[in-house]
Amino acid sequence: MFTGIIEAVGKLAKVEAREGDLRLTVDSGTLDLSDVQLGDSIATNGVCLTVVELTGKGYVADVSLETLDYATLGSLPVGAPLNLEKALTPTTRLGGHLVSGHVDGKGTVVSLEPSGRSTVYWLEAPKSLARYIAHKGSITIDGVSLTVNKVEGCRFALNIVPHTQQETIIENYSAGTVVNLEVDVLARYLERLMDPSLKDDTIKESTLTAGFLAEHGFMK
């Protein structure tokens, strides 16, 4: 698990094809790897990757076909900047929200609008994911925990303050940039729990309904 608070910006140093999937070598920049061991997880542009080798300048990780289907890692050129975050520990400050590192799909930056010293980024999500994106809810963009400010159909707006732009790869975004999306894990579990096809008649029926959740601000 991660928090969505980026610890360093690294870069993609090498890409190797391995029997259909990929092995990536990452230059971790200023990320402290002194406590990282083989088998540990590092969120790389929001994708939870397992460290299979430490190089001195960074780490090596394999990317499965499943991940390549859902995330952007397979389309990035060598030298591309990467948001990096080590897995959280019991003493980590939860400054963002709980992030699994399991990317749900890809979104596209639609436009950028100045707003004081901040910038409003409008993005478009696939219709299959838009239902999980709510006003003032949490979403992860390339590993960054952010708050949704507006929602219009499949499009949503994020207000990015200068610090976040400077400390992440978001400052490199422009209209057309494709990013990794991870929706709030609570929304996914809630939908699963309410699936009528999985109803167990031996369990007392809950009074929790979609109408109740909407009335109390959990759904729109």
The answer to whether position 91 is within a domain reads no
C-alpha pair distances (Å), 88 with each of 32, 38, 47, 99, 169? 14, 16, 14, 10, 21
The answer to whether position 134 is within a domain reads yes
pLDDT per residue as tens digits for the range 120-160: 999 999 999 999 999 999 999 999 999 999 999 999 999 99
Provide mean pLDDT across the span 67-88. Answer: 97
**Residue 115 domain boundaries:** 105-189
Domain termination site, one of 59, 86, 113: 86
The answer to whether position 99 is within a domain reads no
Going by pLDDT thresholds of 50, 70 and 90, the confidence category of residue 202 is low
pLDDT per residue as tens digits for the range 172-190: 999 999 999 999 988 888 8
pLDDT score of 217 more than 80: no
More confident residue, 96 or 31: 31
pLDDT score of 74 more than 70: yes
Name the average pLDDT for the chain.
92
pLDDT per residue as tens digits for the range 204-215: 666 677 777 777
Q: State the distance between the two ends of the chain, measured CA to CA, in whole angstroms.
A: 27
Residue 206 pLDDT: 66
